[in-house]
Amino acid sequence: MKSLVTAAVLLFASVAIYAQPAKPCEELKSEIAKKMEAKGVTSYSLEIAATDKAKDTEGKVVGSCDGGSKKIVYRRTTSATATANAAGPKKP
């Protein structure tokens, strides 16, 4: 009887985890940025990368979005790099 109850609890817990809706990457990225700024972090960048490419990038994975197909990677930057990243990509 105990094993049946244990199995039911484990099954319910695993279903509840997968039932959560996938969060869009831009929404999650902005939430993480707000938390970072609230803690006083100023020189950083957040990048959205495909799950398989996130392992190859420098930085720390701080979130997963779009149903696990993409990751948000945090990287510390210098103030000059942060300013350039905020301005967007360079145009030829």
Picking from 57, 59, 72, the residue whose alpha carbon sits closest to that of residue 27 is: 72
The DSSP symbol for 92 reads -
Tokens coding 61 = 């994975």
pLDDT single digits (tens) 15-58: 555 555 778 999 999 999 999 999 999 899 999 999 888 888 88
* Predicted TM-score of the model (pTM): 0.60
Query: In this structure, are residues 64 and 70 in contact, taking their beta carbons and an 8 Å threshold?
Result: yes
Q: Is the pLDDT of residue 74 over 90?
A: yes
For the chain, domain boundaries: 22-87
Q: State the SS3 of 30-64.
A: HHHHHHHHHCCCCCEEEEEEEHHHHCCCCCEEEEE
